[in-house]
Chains A and B, each alone.
Chain A
């Protein structure tokens, strides 16, 4: 017999006059009213009110003020040659801007970080996904990740400079190598959390393999690839300063080393703080809101 989808589809009301005697069941026909188990009150996300936002911003500001106050107190206790006052540091940053090297330093370092991060992430996704998909790969190369993670960072950097030369390419490769094992490991572990039940559902509904990969598997990998990227970016920035300090004559890391050799604490801070602020801005203003938006479906998962 042919299905009567059309009858229900157009009316949305089984049990209507046209559907015959069978549809005349006592009780609520489906679709006529929300059933009791649908508790409309709890549906949806709680709205974030203005006062909640303000309160949250207030706490952030307070915590920042406390940190600066602590800095001030400590520098007053230990003396400004050991730890310059906050106000002195701001002055030193002004001097650095005037001298003209602050922006170029930051730009150079940012480019190196971006290069190393992009290289590390693309390799980590390749390796991590391969390890996660193939048992053979896990048996053969699983331990390599552990071995790679146990090698001291310094060794990667030195080897990169020795093999490639004292240039930016070596800096990017060295930085990428240091963070690669950690990101790979995170993505590999994330692959284990893929839900085989969803793939089975996809198969049961006759969805083809390509669509299943694109629309069922890939979206499941995004949260942990995103988390691994955030971790990777933070690690890359820290290690890049070190890479520059070891073998480059430009960038934030070089500048820190330069002023360190002159024992100028003020200028060391002045070189580091602006870039720390850039990374913090990236984290708070870009990455966190982006993560909140991308993975908004995750919230209230516990319900």
Chain B
């Protein structure tokens, strides 16, 4: 089972004390089953809002959002691990399983299986405080996988990790995705990460939050992060990103007149894997 997502003219405004934020402006987007989609863009472009709408955490939007099937199981991997600190690794995974009505021993067995899958066999009885940052995020990944979701939502899950650990976990995520493909929506600041992981990268711009580019990454899997084709995609995406994220948010001249302005920023932005 896998999920299809449809955002149709979805808008979202937040009112804060000082100003109104137009987080999403009539965003229309369809995510197809089993597609691994990355959402990239600067802070405030509404990519996390989109994710929260997909997760059912945010219901204050206008427009329509449909999830098919409507009762599709969703799992969420956050930027921080969000483990229950008083529960062991295994108990953290079984928590979401038992909450879904799985029996205690069955939940326990499933939890152990998924902890082993993410490389944590032998650490089942450790509390999160006794694990390293990378291991905690692995537990969170095991928790998300264990519910066997049709839709996996990921909000910068590797951004808090050191690059070596993050790189390793990206590779493992892809390995798991090969075997158990599901619809994935992955939010990131990191273009290199987006290109390496995703089938399709959606670039967003802020003020108001909108989609400015939609690129399919046609590099066969398994991929190598040093693949030059990925670097090429990265350059292309970087261009559309800088091109549209002028701080004033001028939308009047989206194609030609901005060209000189993006030139310099493009050359300085040589290291495209740098977070934006």
Decide: A197 and B148 in contact? CB cutoff 8 A: no
Among A14, A197, A208, A215, contact of B80 (Cβ-Cβ < 8 Å):
A197
Give the CA-CA distance A264 to B173 in the complex, in Å. 78
Contact of A219 among B76, B84, B134, B182 (CB under 8 A): B84
Is residue A58 within 8 Å, beta carbon to beta carbon, of the partner chain? no
Whether the Cβ atoms of B179 and A19 lie closer than 8 Å is yes
Q: Tell which of A5, A15, A25, A204 touches B180, judged by Cβ atoms closer than 8 Å.
A: A5
How far apart are the CA atoms of A172 and B55 in the complex, in Å? Answer: 52
Specify which chain A residues have a CB less than 8 angstroms from the CB of B161 in the assembled complex: 37
| A206–B76 alpha-carbon span in the complex (Å) | 10
Closest to B177 in A: A22
Q: B103-130: which have CB < 8 Å to A?
A: 110, 113, 116-123, 126-130
Bound complex: CA of A234 vs CA of B178, how far in Å? 60
Given A38-B123, A299-B129, A300-B129 in contact, is the A216-B84 Cβ separation under 8 Å?
yes
Tell me which of B164-172, B208-216, B239-247 binds A.
B164-172
Among A28-36, A64-72, A124-132, the stretch that binds chain B is A28-36
Decide yes or no: A22 and B178 within 8 Å by CB, A43-B123, A197-B78, A207-B99 being known contacts.
Answer: yes
Pair A8/B117 contact, Cβ less than 8 Å: yes
Task: Please state if A205 and B222 are interface contacts (CB–CB under 8 Å).
Answer: no
Q: Which residues of A contact B55 (CB under 8 A)?
A: 204
Do A14 and B1 contact each other (CB < 8 Å), given the known contacts A37-B132, A43-B123, A44-B130?
no
Which of A37, A38, A39, A201 is within 8 Å of B82, CB to CB? A201
B146 to chain A, nearest CB (A): 9
Instruction: Please report which residues of chain A, range 281-303, place their CB below 8 angstroms from some CB of chain B when the two chains form the complex.
Output: 295-301, 303
Given contacts A22-B179, A215-B95, contact A12 B129 (CB under 8 A): no
**CB <8 Å contact, A36 and B130:** no
Which bracket fits the contact residues of B?
Answer: 35 or more
Residues of B within 8 A of A12 (CB): 113, 116-117, 121
CB-contacts of A12-53 with B (<8 A): 12, 14-15, 19, 22-23, 25-27, 29-31, 33-40, 42-45
Which of A5, A36, A40, A219 interacts with B168 by CB under 8 Å?
Answer: A36
B261 within 8 A of partner (CB): no
Decide: B99 and A14 in contact? CB cutoff 8 A: no
Give min CB distance, B68 to chain A, whole Å: 14
CA A4 – CA B127 in complex, angstroms?
Answer: 29
Bound together, the chains give a CA A5 to CA B179 distance in angstroms of 8
Q: Which listed residue (B33, B120, B153, B171) contacts A38, Cβ 8 A?
A: B120
Smallest CB separation, B153 vs chain A (Å)? 8
Q: Inside 8 A of B85's CB, which chain A residues have their CB?
A: 297-298, 301
Cα A23 to Cα B110 with chains together (Å)? 22
CB–CB A44/B126 < 8 A: yes
Is B126 a contact of A1 with CB atoms below 8 Å? no
- Do A30 and B129 touch across chains, with their CB atoms under 8 A apart? no
Which of A7, A22, A40, A301 counts the most B-chain CB atoms under 10 A from its CB? A22
- Using CB atoms, name the residue of chain A closest to B95: A215
State the Cβ distance, A301 to closest chain B Cβ, in Å: 5
Among candidates A7, A39, A206, residue contacting B99 with C-beta atoms closer than 8 Å? A206
A206 neighbours in B (Cβ, 8 Å)? 73-74, 99-100
A2 located at the interface, meaning its Cβ lies under 8 Å from any Cβ of chain B in the complex: yes
What are 19 A-B contacts with C-beta separation under 8 Å? Answer: A3-B1, A3-B148, A3-B182, A8-B176, A23-B179, A26-B222, A30-B118, A37-B135, A37-B161, A38-B119, A43-B130, A44-B126, A201-B78, A203-B57, A205-B76, A205-B99, A296-B127, A298-B85, A303-B132
- Cβ-closest 8 pairs across A and B: A37-B134, A204-B76, A297-B127, A30-B172, A207-B99, A37-B165, A201-B82, A22-B178
